[in-house]
Amino acid sequence: MEELGALLQALLIILFFGGLSLLAQWGRKNRGAEVSLIVSVLFASFLVAALGAVVALVGVSDAVPSSEASTGLIVGSGAIILLAGVAGIGLCIPPIRRVARQRYNATARHGEDSVVQDSLASSTDRYSISEDADGWWSDPPTFFALWAFVNIFAINAVFLLVFALEPEGARSTLASAGRVSFFIVFSSQLPLVVVALCGVGIGVRRSFRETLARLGYGPITLPQLGIVALFIVGALLVSTAFDALFAVLQPDLFEQVGEVSEGLFSPEGLSPASVILFALLIGIGASLGEETLFRGALQPRLGIILTSVLWAIIHVQYGPSVLLINIFVLSLALGFLRKRINTTATFLVHASYNFLTVLLSYFLGGY
């Protein structure tokens, strides 16, 4: 039943975010599609804001027993959701202005009075300058990516709040999931791949080969493989240093996160052959979706820093710990590698890092 629920959730994510991603790409050349995207996002933002307001009001009214959730957690979660909805509405303003200007300019071009046309032509020039000034915010794919970023940030901020106010509940929820399985990896990573493909316009603006090129997948040379190997070693060394720092600065949280991670990724009880397969699952499966979406699709539009912030945010299972800094630093390195080589290189680094982490925990951890 849990697997069916996870699959249903993955399909809903694919349909909603994948569909709107394609609509965003189509909106670059079709005003109707752009307007449909804006209306959809605006409606969804109003729903998010309304949900946040309701949750906050429920918390203030003490309608939920304190044994189930604290008032601070409910009110705080509602406030975060409400702010996400308001921010989503705000993000709709630049594309609405852009569509309004386009409509105004189209009307001006069809005027019959030549004097009026000349006057409106100068206005058109001024509007074009203004449109270029906020074009990055109003570009349909970028606008939708930023909106998705805000909502993902809100979801993970709520989780961080849960981790901060009720750490035992957050830890037990994660631990109850058990060891990561093929189905969990598949259902969590498939939406990322599909959204990335749709987000760069497969079938709308690009063919499959052009889509792969836009995502940064391509061959790498032997010297570049050497650079990849150096990045893998560097990532392992930096992570080891951050683990030691984590243990010193936040010993209690270090123990909690260790228990959660052990429950999710521990190879304990597996045979050596099963460990290798499990390591490949974590390495390849858990890296393909993230690299395709973040380094492949998002980074060329959002830049290395903003993409790294988003990537760090989705790893809040580590709680408000120094490990989030480690993840951010690792993302900066992967972003640099994507820019200098391609996404194939970042995938190899990410997959190898995960693969070796599982193997090292098995052979050096004494399982």
326 burial (CB, 10 Å; 0-12 / 13-18 / 19+) is: buried
Which pTM was predicted? 0.82
User: Environment class of residue 63 by beta-carbon count within 10 Å: exposed (0-12), middle (13-18) or buried (19+)?
Assistant: exposed
- Answer yes or no: are the C-beta atoms of 19 and 54 closer than 8 Å: no
Structure tokens at 190: 């498939």
Answer yes or no: are the C-beta atoms of 283 and 351 closer than 8 Å: yes
- CA–CA gap between residue 284 and residue 15 (Å, rounded): 24
Cβ atoms 52, 229 nearer than 8 A: no
Domain edges within the chain: 1-108+137-165, 217-366
Q: Among residues 215, 196, 203, which one has the least CA distance to residue 145?
A: 196
Note down pLDDT in tens along the chain; length 367 residues: 666 777 788 888 889 989 999 999 998 888 899 999 999 999 999 999 999 999 999 888 866 665 566 788 889 999 999 999 999 999 999 999 888 887 777 676 666 454 444 444 444 343 333 444 456 778 898 889 889 889 888 988 888 888 777 766 666 666 555 677 888 888 888 899 999 999 999 988 899 999 999 999 999 999 999 999 999 999 999 999 999 999 999 888 888 777 777 777 777 778 888 889 999 999 998 899 999 999 999 999 889 999 999 888 887 766 678 888 999 999 999 999 999 999 999 999 999 999 999 888 887 764 5
Closest CA to 347 of 278, 298, 295, 280: 295
Q: Answer for the pair 319, 253: CB distance below 8 angstroms, yes or no.
A: yes
Task: Give phi and psi for 202, each to the nearest 5.
Answer: -60, 130
- Return d(Cα 109, Cα 201) in angstroms, integer: 31
Amino acid residing at 300? P
Residues whose CB is less than 8 angstroms from the CB of residue 54 and which lie 6 or more positions away in sequence, other chains included = 78
C-alpha–C-alpha distance, residues 58 and 52, integer Å:
10
